Chains A and B, each alone.
Chain A
Amino acid sequence: MNPKRRHRGLGTALLFMAPFGLLYTVFTIWPVFQGVYVSFYKWGLMGKQSFVGLANYTRAFHDKYFWGALGNTTKFVVITVPLLIVTAIVLALLANRATKIRKFARSAFYIPSVLSVSVISYIAIYLGSPRMGFINELLHDIGLIPPGDEPQWIIGKNLAWVTLALTTVWWTVGFSMLLYLAALQEIPDEVYEAAEVDGASKVRQLFSITLPLLSRTHWLVFLLQVIASFKVFGQVRLITNGGPGVSTRPLVQYVYDTGFGKDNLGYASAMSYALFIILLVFSLLQLRVQNRGDAS
């Protein structure tokens, strides 16, 4: 490649990158810096009010609602991530078996993922509504709960968490299942044939061969799910609206409420960076895991 050509390459490359680069810079990169700036101010929807230095950050440090919301988000991560991983593995193993229904099973497990968070939230609300909901009706029909007893799936302190967790698993597990399915299909048959010859049982094969061979996928799914669960907002806002009280309100919702409900964008920005830092750590880990896969 001669230097002249290389130079022309740069110009053309810039031209090709310009439209995406411009939008990406304005709507993805710029807000990160803008947010830091805003976080040093008292800032409302009408604009900048006054410089407050680090006050928004120290305020978060002493704000029990901030810690409560961060705690709720963490609780959501701790509940849903293991549940999602185990469910994804089980579903992938079942959908990977050589049966006539494998395509049907795969589609059925994935299809909730194509629905909007508003749709799945309202399905959950109506499924769980006392007296008229599907779940309580079913429990009455089969006699698991006595007439007149109506479990509160949406506003019950503990049941609200159960509803949020199960809804999230049902809605989002398809993605991780597909990741596992792709990984399962890359395991060569010879591995199992050899185990078969050695007389290893199916259960033994699962725990000694299949699951260990999926270790990279376990990591990837784990990190992707941790990131996704830390970002939780829509289904909680719509199903429980953070309630009862603020007992399920996640960090993103508290940021949203503070910024747009209480007109305090400066403080909301400052709190956003707590989430940003947490997600940054897991995103960097995720890139590492993915690059390891590319290299091999």
Chain B
Amino acid sequence: MKKHTGVGGWVLTVLTVALAILFLLPLLWSLAVSLKHEGEGVSNVLAWFLPPYTLENYPRVLLASGVPTWFVNSLIVAVLSTVLTLVISPMAAYAIAKIKFRGATVFYVYFILGLMIPVEAMVVPLFLTANKLDLINTFAGLILPNVAVSMNFIIMVSFMRRIPDELIEAATIDGAGYWRVYGHIILPLSKTVLVTVGIFSFTASWNNYLWPLLATMSGDMFTLPIGIPTFAGTYTIDYVMPMTANMVASLPMIVLFVIFERYIVKGVSLTGIKG
């Protein structure tokens, strides 16, 4: 990394700050709007950002609409998808990465095929499959397809392959079986990748739009991404309430991002660089 000095350096720094603010501006504006009184007009752009502020919209959105139900649904689906992903993907990854057995390559290739099957091109048969299993408009129907994802598995395989075999052999000589090796060596050493996959799995589920759009039939099963547009649709003039709902849906993600940014940055390079 180089130190930048001189006029050119300053210009670039100013440009960086300007772009950073530009990227944050739509969010800051949304936040500002959510803090306005409903029906309050503005005379210029700055007025949006200036006081008076109020928090009255938040309890109204949280208490007197479908938003809390959708929030809880989103949370249930995201948490269970993440937990289930973190239980079953590393198990399969361990088998491929560290257990020696005939046909390991065949299974690996089979599990990689999913990377080439986009949900967007498969919604109709996926819907029919879920329908046949009576999973439409159920939590299981929302959750299980989120868990059957190749990418999480592949990231874990490439990570676990780098765990030295000597560690496993030493434990095996001491009499440890496959389950013990998995629980006492593989899982603890895979903490970073588990956190990373966990965050991606949670985010993907929390923000998923296409599948819940098809898999939910009634308002009481909607997740936030499905509920918010129906909620916003009832406010055609003023957008203070829909913007507040937007913030309610976004704040958990933003907090999560601030806490786990390190893992997210690492995770993106893992998905990108390692296949």
Contact = CB atoms under 8 A, between A and B. Distances in A.
Interface in B87-133: 87-89, 91-92, 94-96, 99-104, 107, 110-118, 120-130, 133
Contact of A6 (B101, B111, B147): B101
Contacts of A112: 23, 26-27
User: For chain A, which range describes its interface: under 10, 10 to 19, 20 to 34, or 35 or more residues?
Assistant: 35 or more
A108 B24 contact: yes
The CB with the most chain A CB atoms within 10 A, among B17, B269, B272, is that of B272
B187 interface: no
Interface string B214-230: 10000000001110110
B121 A273 contact: yes
A95 B112 CA distance: 33
Interface stretch (A64-72, A77-85, A149-157, A264-272): A264-272
A88 to B, nearest CB: 11
Contacts of A20: 88-89, 91-92, 111, 147-148, 153
B124 A272 contact: yes
B262 to A, nearest CB: 10
Nearest to B230: A118
What secondary structure prevails in chain B residues at the interface with A? helix
B207 A238 contact: no
A287 B275 contact: yes
B72 interface: no
Given A20-B153, A23-B148, A118-B228, A179 B268 contact: yes
B176 to A, nearest CB: 13
B73 interface: no
B2 A98 contact: yes
B29 interface: yes
Contacts of A217: 272
Given A94-B19, A137-B42, A23 B243 contact: no
Given A19-B91, A117-B207, A13 B99 contact: yes
Nearest to B130: A27
A119 interface: yes
Given A99-B4, A134-B48, A265-B124, A115 B113 contact: no
A245 to B, nearest CB: 21
Contacts of A238: 229
A116 B209 contact: yes
Contacts of A32: 117, 122, 125
Given A118-B249, A273-B121, A293-B273, 6 more contacts: A29-B117, A119-B225, A137-B42, A137-B44, A141-B44, A224-B272
10 contacts: A12-B99, A21-B107, A97-B2, A101-B13, A105-B17, A107-B261, A123-B29, A179-B272, A234-B210, A293-B273
Interface of B: 1-4, 8-9, 12-13, 15-17, 19-21, 23-24, 26-27, 29-30, 33, 42, 44-45, 48, 87-89, 91-92, 94-96, 99-104, 107, 110-118, 120-130, 133, 144-145, 147-150, 153, 158, 178, 182, 203, 206-207, 209-210, 214, 224-226, 228-229, 232, 239, 242-243, 246, 249-250, 253-254, 256-258, 261, 264-265, 268-269, 272-275
